Amino acid sequence: MHTSYRECMRLTLKTSALTAQRDAHGHRSNAALAEAAGINESTLQRLIAGAVQPSGPAIAGLLAALPNAAFEDLFEPQA
C-alpha cells in the first residue's frame, strides 16, 4: 500500500517567519508574494490561517519567491 507524505506528516507554516521573509525580499503584501510564488492569493491566505496543507507546488513557489529562506525556516513538520 502506498502512503503519501500528506498521510504521514502535516506541515505548519511559520507565519511570523513568512512575514519577515516576505518583507525582507521586498514583497509589499501577501498578494505580491502569492503572485511571485505562482499561487493564488486565497491559497496563501488559507495556508497562513492553517486551513489547508501546503502542496508541493505551493512550497516550491514560496521557496522560489523567497530565495534566502530554507524549507525549515518557513515550515514546521507536525507528527
pLDDT tens profile 41-55 = 999 999 999 999 999
What are the grid coordinates assigned to 32, written together?
505580491
Please state the pTM of the whole predicted model.
0.86
Q: How far is CA 59 from CA 1, 2, 22, 64, in A?
A: 26, 22, 14, 9
Q: For residue 78, what pLDDT is reported? A: 85
Delineate the domains of the chain, giving CATH numbers in brackets.
5-78 (1.10.260.40)
Q: For residue 72, what pLDDT is reported? A: 96
Coil, strand or helix at 77: strand
| Residues of the chain below pLDDT 50 | 1
Distance, in Å, from the CA atom of 19 to the CA atom of 10, rounded to the nearest integer, reads: 21
